[in-house]
Amino acid sequence: MKTTSILFATSEMAPWVKTGGLGDVAAALPAALHRAGNDIRVLLPHYPALRQAFPQATAVAELPALAPALPAARLLAAEADGLPLLLLDCPPLYDRPGNPYVGADGLDWPDNAIRFGLLSRVAALLGQAASPLGWQPDVVHVNDWQTALAAAWLHYEGGAASVVTVHNIAFQGCFEEPLRAALGLPEAAWRFDGVEYHGLLSFLKAGLQLATRISTVSPSYAREIQDEAFGYGLAPLLRHRREALHGILNGIDPVLWNPTTDPALAAPYAANRLAAKRANKLALQQEMGLDPATDRPLFGVVSRLTEQKGHDMLLALGDALPELPAQLVILGSGDKALEAGFLALAEKLPGQVAVKLGFDETLAHRIEAGADCFLMPSRFEPCGLNQMYSLRYGTPPLVQATGGLADTVVDVNEATLADKTANGFVMADGSTDALWQAMQRATIAWLDKRLWLRIQQNGMRCDFSWHHAANDYSRLYRDALAAHR
Ligand code: ADP
Ligand code: GLC
């Protein structure tokens, strides 16, 4: 198969900088494309964690100030297990502690337009004849609003074909009009079919309008975002560009997320050795201060606590948990009211509900392994990785039928048990009642040990390796190139 040269631009990459699934995808997808023989390089900001991880990174290009608001910068090269990284070094913009998008006060960094404007501008530059690297990729692949604006420069000035992937359409990167000139975008770009969106400069809209091809992270979400209810204002544009829009389901990293070798677990286990999973439940109950109950299922949550994820519904049901009966363990952070609500619930139901606020990678693994059932009542979920981790860990997910959740979780019923596809619980609709009913169904199913084992094993057999997605992206790149010529 002919390979393609690709620049993959991202604002986060696990394990160094991760706020959610984009970090996981930006680590695993380029690695899979690299293994498949493609010439792929990953561009990302030189955040403090990358300075620490790659002290030997060497400067490969000096970049002059590319626009009135964009400072001069450098590109450093490093390698992560053979995968080439290009680190965009500009200390005033990227060398700051904490989250890549928000400061300690929880508010967006005030210069995000400049920080991600520069990242986008440099992604585009590398795709142009003027690339200072002596390397010019066939395709510039950008991700979410933080890099989407690259497609605008490639469109107006020429260069590589561009692919923009939407991981979450709710975040669009909209800024005041003067930034157009400050970032060095041509005046001609200020049009409804250019970078302008309701009087603002929208990074994501610009990418969706001007990229050669668009993808999103599941087939269902590709359909949903063409609908007003899910498109966050961009549905008409996506309907207009539907021929260019593809849904490619994310994969998961089968080495990092493997219950037989996961170093974070109390006891390793596999589909044919599921009895050992119980030791992980007991260890998790102990770690989180839950009663060591064996007569009720333990529901688990690892999540950003935001409106998207639907955990407000779970909170509303919290008081009734002992009625199921069930236990609940939550790891997450985000919305302050949800954080406070879950803390109060844990205080009210000690031994039954445990909450840890914050981001804790290894506890996330122990919850995947120690919980019996994993809750994702998301209102929308472009792909979702945790339901796939749960399936692999024999922890059947309970989900709302949306986006990637609808594409990966098959509800338990007679027909799906017969054809061995049943692997979790799907809410009948988006209501709190439907969540409660699905939790009741899961609790009853859990009490039937043989039934539960079948559901667990069906899930553990699913193949979510990146191999399939990497093939689909290779096809998408070729398609983008053909359209670009
Ligand atoms: P999203 O990107 O919308 O947050 P995904 O399911 O795609 O949702 O990915 C979330 C990723 O972030 C998963 O790898 C999940 O384990 C991780 N994660 C989310 N919250 C936490 C947390 N509080 N601690 C550790 N990992 C977390
Ligand atoms: C976003 C989405 C999530 C998806 C992830 C990686 O953060 O919310 O559903 O899995 O990106 O594509």
Domain of residue 413, CATH code: 3.40.50.2000
- Rounded distance from Cα 18 to ligand 1 centre (Å): 9
218 and 299 fall within a common domain = no
pLDDT in tens, 416-447: 999 999 999 999 999 999 999 999 999 999 99
- Rounded distance from Cα 4 to ligand 1 centre (Å): 30
Handedness of CA 292, 298, 302, 307 (dihedral sign): negative
225 and 319 fall within a common domain = no
Count of C-beta atoms within a 10 Å radius of residue 446: 20
Distance CA 28, CA 13 (A): 9
Mean pLDDT of all residues in 390-411: 98
pLDDT in tens, 359-395: 999 999 999 999 999 999 999 999 999 999 999 999 9
Output the six-digit token pair for 146: 């933080």
DSSP assignments along 245-305, one per residue: EEE------TTTS-TTT-TTSSS--BTTBGGGHHHHHHHHHHHHT----SSS-EEEEEEEE
pLDDT category of residue 290 using cuts at 50, 70 and 90: very high
Q: Single out the residue of 86, 76, 89 nearest to residue 39, CA to CA.
A: 86
The reply to whether ligand 2 has any atom less than 6 angstroms from the CB of 379 is no
229 and 81 fall within a common domain = yes
Do 311 and 338 meet the contact criterion of CB atoms below 8 Å apart? yes
Mean pLDDT of all residues in 226-239: 98
131 and 243 fall within a common domain = yes
24 and 103 fall within a common domain = yes
Question: What is the pLDDT of the chain when averaged over all its residues?
Answer: 97
Q: Which amino acid is at 430?
A: G
441 and 470 fall within a common domain = no
The reply to whether ligand 2 has any atom less than 6 angstroms from the CB of 377 is no
Q: What's the domain count of the chain?
A: 2
In a domain, 263, yes or no: no
Distance CA 442, CA 465 (A): 27
Whose atoms come closest to the Cα of 306: which ligand? 1
- Rounded distance from Cα 381 to ligand 2 centre (Å): 7
- Rounded distance from Cα 101 to ligand 2 centre (Å): 16
pLDDT higher than 80, residue 3:
no
Whose atoms come closest to the Cα of 253: which ligand? 1
Mean pLDDT of all residues in 24-31: 97
- Rounded distance from Cα 24 to ligand 1 centre (Å): 9
453 and 480 fall within a common domain = no
In a domain, 266, yes or no: no
Compute the CA torsion angle 468, 469, 471, 474 (nearest 10 deg): 180
pLDDT for the residue numbered 1 = 52
| The ligand 2 atom nearest the CA atom of 403 | 9
95 and 242 fall within a common domain = yes
* Domain containing residue 338: 274-460
- Specify the higher pLDDT residue, 2 or 466: 466
456 and 411 fall within a common domain = yes
243 and 359 fall within a common domain = no
Whose atoms come closest to the Cα of 169: which ligand? 2
Mean pLDDT of all residues in 78-105: 96
342 and 245 fall within a common domain = no
In a domain, 256, yes or no: no
In a domain, 265, yes or no: no
The reply to whether ligand 1 has any atom less than 6 angstroms from the CB of 331 is yes
